[in-house]
Amino acid sequence: MFLTFVINTVLISVAVVIHYEILRLLSTVIPKLSVQNRLRVIIGVFGTITAHVIEIWMFGIAFFLMTTYGDFGSLQGNYSGTILDSVYFSFTNYTSLGIGDIEPLGDIRFLAGLEALTGLAMITWSASFMFIEMRKFWD
């Protein structure tokens, strides 16, 4: 259980740092672009989506490794044990769509719950960031 706690803490910390760094990069690059304001907003949206996708893949790889090589639990249901199934499960968790056709069992349930909470926080952070950026460029 302690190892699960450590892994979860590291994953969440890395997700927050990735998100922070991408938003920081966007906040410095977007104002310097010599393009129309609409394109600046679109670049910001794609940049934040990129951050989310990177974080989702990170969690998905963790699910894959934890179910394949560790004694952390399993993913059951419509799960074939592939990395793409793990990433799909991560997408449904991160976006808070909920547990559907794949269900976590064992200690890995804690990572699933924490990923949903982290995804909610990162998505709202992105929304706040984009609101601030859009106010700068829209009349």
Nearest to 114 by CA among 68, 58, 70, 67: 58
Please, are residues 33 and 119 in contact by the beta-carbon 8 Å criterion?
A: no
* Residue 139 clears pLDDT 90, i.e. is over it: no
pLDDT of residue 138: 73
Please, are residues 104 and 75 in contact by the beta-carbon 8 Å criterion?
A: yes
Residue 84: CB atoms within 10 Å:
10
* pLDDT tens profile 30-48: 989 898 888 888 999 999 9
pLDDT of residue 100: 78
Please tell me the pTM assigned to this model.
0.93
C-alpha dihedral sign at 66, 68, 74, 77: positive
Determine the average pLDDT of the residues in 22-37.
92
Please, are residues 111 and 8 in contact by the beta-carbon 8 Å criterion?
A: yes
Q: Per-domain residue ranges for the chain? A: 2-137
Question: What class is the 2-137 domain?
Answer: mainly alpha
User: How far is Cα 99 from Cα 88, in angstroms, rounded to an integer?
Assistant: 11
* pLDDT tens profile 76-135: 999 999 999 999 999 999 998 776 789 999 999 999 999 999 999 999 999 999 999 888
Nearest to 117 by CA among 75, 55, 50: 55
Structure tokens at 10: 């590291």
